[in-house]
Structure formats: structure tokens, C-alpha cells
Amino acid sequence: MKRLSFSSMVIMLIALGLSSCNDTVKESKTSEPKQTLAPTQKAIAFNIKKEVSTIDWLGSKPLGTHTGTIDITKGTFYLQEATIESGKFLIDMNSITVTDLDQNSGKESLESHLKGTVEGKEGDFFNVQKYPTATFEVTGVTEVEGTKMMSGNLTMLSISQNISFPVQITNQDNMVQVKSEPFTIDRTKWGINFGSKSIFDNLGDKFINDDIQITIDVTAMM
């Protein structure tokens, strides 16, 4: 039997570690865009506070991961009797930040690549010069086996897909917080194909995983 080289063992162990971590993260159900909801006359508007609302992300490849944040800038949830009837928020794609690197280890370079502000690489990921914002618009909140699930149309790069993910909704006095459990989306559903082994052949271990892990945390006030 052939012996594995040390580098091969390291790659295998990292891959197994990432796989075991992802086993605990739910994959979002993705489908065609659905009809959005309009608030009723009795619904109360809760405006999103950008200072305490954010999206955490995690991307992975065979030799490691990168983490970061994206700002949620504005939006509104409409509630009636503590139930979210509808809502929408805006995501500032220019705010993409990498949190696991510093200026001496490639932070600025990776952020520029993700934003598409590097000449010749505009279309690799999010192309913020052409698509500076993304949006999420609620299409429903249901309960499945004791877990609240929020569904909505996520629009990035002018492509809309409906996603569904588990959330905790806290409603206290004049505040509502919507916090998701970590979940994953398949970036290729929005045409973000750079480094995807499901799209391109012969990438070897130079591929980037299609799934991006996301955690949404939004606070809104009356």
C-alpha cells in the first residue's frame, strides 16, 4: 500500500475537519423567487438599526477558510401581534470585510478580489462597482418541527433566489431581533462561479467550495 505524503495527510485531515464542521450547519433550501408579502393595515413597522445588524460569512477551500462580515444598511420588518408579516433589508456589498487576515497577510488583497475592484477580476465574485447592493425580502415565516423558518428572496448580481433558513425571533417592547442559525447557500445559484469545481474541470486542489456559510443578525426598532 502506498504511503501518504505528509502534505497529502494534512490536506485530507483539513478536508475531513471542514466536512465534520459543515455537518452541523444546515443547507438553505433554494428555489425560484416567490411572491413577497405586503403588510396589513394593522402591521407595525420596525426599522432596522444598521449599527447592530450584520451578516457573518465563512468561505472554505481545501487548505483552509476565510471569515468576514457584510453590513446591513437599512430596511423594515412589519409585525402584527409579534408575528413578522413582511420585511426587506438592504445589504451593502461594498462593506465586505475579511476578519481572519490583517494588512500584512493579504486582507486588503482578498477584500479587493471579493469586491471585484481589481482590474480584470471584476466578475470573479461580487462586482460591487456594477452591483453595489444586495437585498433580502421576506416571503414567509413558518414553524417546522418546533423550529422557526424564515423564507425570502435573496437578490445578488441581479439574480433572485428564494432561500429558507432557521431563525430565532426575539420581540421585546419596541425591539425585534432576527438571528439565524448558521446556514449555507450555494454561490453558483447566483452565478458566482470562480474556482468552482462543479463548473470547471482540472482545478485540482485549487478550487473554492460552492457553499458559503452565513449567519444573519438583524435588530429593528419601532
Cα→Cα distances 100→55, 69, 175, Å: 15, 11, 31
CA distance 123 to 110: 14
Residue 66, domain extent: 6-221
Q: What is the reported pLDDT for 19? A: 41
Could you report how far apart the first and last alpha carbons of the chain are, in Å? 67
Helix (H, G, I), strand (E, B) or coil at 76: strand
pLDDT above 80 (res 12): no
**Using one digit for the tens of pLDDT, what is the confidence trace for 143-162?**
988 899 999 999 999 999 99
Within a domain: residue 1? no
pLDDT above 90 (res 198): yes
Within a domain: residue 67? yes
CA distance 166 to 184: 11
Q: What is the mean pLDDT of residues 128-142?
A: 97
pLDDT above 50 (res 4): no
CB neighbourhood size of 6 (10 A): 8
pTM of the full structure: 0.87
Name which of 8-12, 135-139, 192-196, 204-208 the model is least confident about: 8-12
pLDDT above 50 (res 1): no
Q: What is the reported pLDDT for 95? A: 98
Q: Is 124:113 a contact under the CB 8 Å cutoff? A: yes
CA atoms within 13 A on the CB side of 8: 5
In the numeric block, which cell numbers belong to residue 6?
Answer: 505528509
Within a domain: residue 76? yes
Within a domain: residue 104? yes
pLDDT above 80 (res 209): yes
Q: Which helix (H) or strand (E) holds 22?
A: helix 6-22
Residues in Cβ contact with 61 at an 8 Å cutoff, skipping those fewer than 6 apart: 195, 207, 208, 209
Cα→Cα distances 20→14, 23, 37, 149, 185, Å: 10, 5, 37, 24, 17
State the pLDDT confidence band at 108, using cuts at 50, 70 and 90.
very high
Q: What is the mean pLDDT of residues 83-90?
A: 96
State the pLDDT confidence band at 139, using cuts at 50, 70 and 90.
very high
pLDDT above 90 (res 11): no
Q: What is the reported pLDDT for 56? A: 98
State the pLDDT confidence band at 23, using cuts at 50, 70 and 90.
low
pLDDT above 60 (res 101): yes
Higher-confidence residue of 216 and 41: namely 216
Within a domain: residue 185? yes
How many domains is the chain partitioned into structurally? 1
pLDDT above 90 (res 6): no
Average pLDDT of the chain to the nearest whole number: 90
CA distance 214 to 57: 5
Q: What is the mean pLDDT of residues 111-133?
A: 97
CATH number of the domain encompassing residue 211 = 2.40.128.110
Within a domain: residue 168? yes
pLDDT above 90 (res 37): no
CA distance 88 to 78: 9
23 — phi, psi (to 5°)? -60, -25
Helix (H, G, I), strand (E, B) or coil at 177: strand
Across the strands, what pairs with 30? 163
CA torsion sign for 167, 143, 26, 93 is negative
Within a domain: residue 63? yes
CA distance 48 to 137: 13
Q: What is the reported pLDDT for 26? A: 81
